[in-house]
Structures are given as structure tokens and as C-alpha cells.
Amino acid sequence: MKALAVLAGIGASLAVLILYAVSVPRPEAARVVRGDVPAPAKTTTGAKGAAKVAGDAMGATAALTRQGVLVRQAVPTSRAAPVSRAAPVSRAAPVSQTAPVSQTASAPVLGKNGLYHQPWFLATSFDLATDMKTAAARGKRLALLFETRGCIYCRKLHVEIFTRPEIRDFIRSRFEIVQVNIRGGRYFMDLDEHGFTEKELAARWGVRTVPTVVFLPERAEGLPAKPGHELAVARMSGVGKPQAILDLFRAVAERRPASGEPGASGKPLALKGQSCASDSPIGCAFNLAKTMFQLCPPCQVLASFRR
């Protein structure tokens, strides 16, 4: 009987202990509610309590997971937007490749008047005597380039001849070029101190084809009061072979006859090539059709059958 009473007492004590353990809250949770720092081994529970105190819904949801999960969620955040790969500034706009200064500076520009213009041409004062003095002060000679809108050979002179380095560099170093539109209305003062529009000046100087280059004397001092074309030392009408054009410019610069030209004393040097008629666009259209025919072998074959 005594043994049964002892066992009953032990069972009752165990039951009381179990009930006490279940009913009494754990110390860790109580510390979180009071704001104490949770134990290091219970970081998950501490994160849950801090989330409830802060009222952050996202933190409360994440606190239900284990600590390892929280760490793995934080690590990808640092890899989401690597700053070094997001904006490679050094590769965005390489200036040296987009705008080579040397090529841009020497390229011809098509103006609003329909004429191609070289950046190194002289900005005229509209007084030929003044322009001659400007060229002489720079150790150069003045030349007038007569052109018109829609002239295919004027374009050829700019795009195919003046862009050649050996020709462009020599002309830039020894000449100043003034551009004249044979149908333009700007006023120029001729060497005899008479004013004319560009159209009138071209007619006075006898410009019948374009492009035409008229080379003037080296200096304006001591010249007789005559129109500029009567004092010209050389003239180039049309566009010839590149070497012939370079030879003419060299001959004028060095004051000697050009290769293949008579260059007799008292006669201006002359060079003729392909050109457009200045008085009518029909001549230029005819030259264009002739050039296209020469570049079309089937057209020549058909023409041979007609013969």
C-alpha cells in the first residue's frame, strides 16, 4: 500500500510539472516583449519579435522562416545591381572614333546656294584688290573659282580633286581661293575699281564654262587699272586629269610654264577639261548624258548594232 501511495505521489508531481511547463511562457519570448536582446542561439525568434514591434509586414513574414533562409535572401540583393556593370561610362561614346577632326575639317560642304564649299577657302572681302593683298601677306596668290548650281564637274572638282591630299595640301599652302557664283547677286569690286554682281563679273571676265579658275598676279600694287581677267596669269576651264591640274597650280606658283602647255612669254597659261556651259544648262545636261553613256557598256553595244 505504501508503494502504491509513493507512485501516485510521483505521478501527480510529474503531472503538475508538465502543466506548469506548458502554461508558463518561455523566457526568450518574455524578453522580446520587454525589449531585451534575445539570446544568440534564438535569433529567429528575436527577429520575429522585432518585426512585430516595428509593424513591418515583410519582416513578420520573413521571420516565420529559418535564419538560413533570411541570409540567402539578403545575399542576392547585393548581386542584383552591380554598379560596375550597369553603366560602363568609358565605352559609351568614344570621341576619337565618332568625329575624326582631320577628315571633317577637309571635307567639302554643300551650301544653301547649291555650291560645294571647301573650309579652307578665303572669306572674301568682295574687293579683289584687298583679297590680293591678304593673299600676298600670307605668301600666297589669289585665284577666283567660278561655279554654278547643279554643275556635275564643279562637284567633281570638289569631291574628287580637292580632296586628294597632295593637291589639297599644295593649293592650301600656295593659294587663296575665292568662290564666285556665276548666277549670284553679291557685289564684287574689280581691280579697276568698278563694282559688279557675280553674274556680271563672270560675263565681263568671259567665263563661258564652269568650273573655271582664274589666277591673278601676286601683288595688287603697281597694276594698271584694268579688269582682272586682262591681268590674269593663267586660266583653268573645266576639270582635267588630277596630275594636269596639280601641274598647272605648281606652274603658276613657281612662275613657269606647265607641263604640256606652251606658256609663251606674255600669254597666260591655260588648261581645259570637262565642263558645263555657263550660259545654258543644256550643255551640262549633254555632258552628263555623254558621261553616263561612256559608263554604260550595254548602251555602247546597242549603239554598235545601230551602225
Give per-residue pLDDT as tens, 240-268: 999 999 999 999 998 865 443 444 345 67
Task: Give pLDDT tens digits for 117-134.
Answer: 999 999 999 999 999 999
Q: Where in the chain is the domain with CATH 3.40.30.10?
A: 105-281
Average pLDDT over residues 63-83: 44
Provide the CATH topology of domain 105-281.
Glutaredoxin (3.40.30)
What are the φ and ψ backbone dihedral angles of 274, each rounded to 5 degrees?
Answer: -70, 135
Residue 244 CA to residue 211 CA, distance in Å, equals: 15
Closest Cα partner for 208 from 277, 272, 150, 153?
277
Burial of 42 (0-12, 13-18, 19+ CB in 10 A): middle
Residue 121 CA to residue 32 CA, distance in Å, equals: 86
Categorize the per-residue pLDDT at 273 as very low, low, confident or very high, splitting at 50, 70 and 90: confident
Percentage of the chain with pLDDT > 90? 42
Residue 164 CA to residue 142 CA, distance in Å, equals: 21
DSSP, residue by residue, 8-63: HHHHHHHHHHHHHHHHSPPHHHHHHHHTPPPPGGGHHHHHHHHHHHHT-HHHHHHH
- The pLDDT value recorded for residue 107 is 83
CB of 158 within 8 A of CB of 107? no
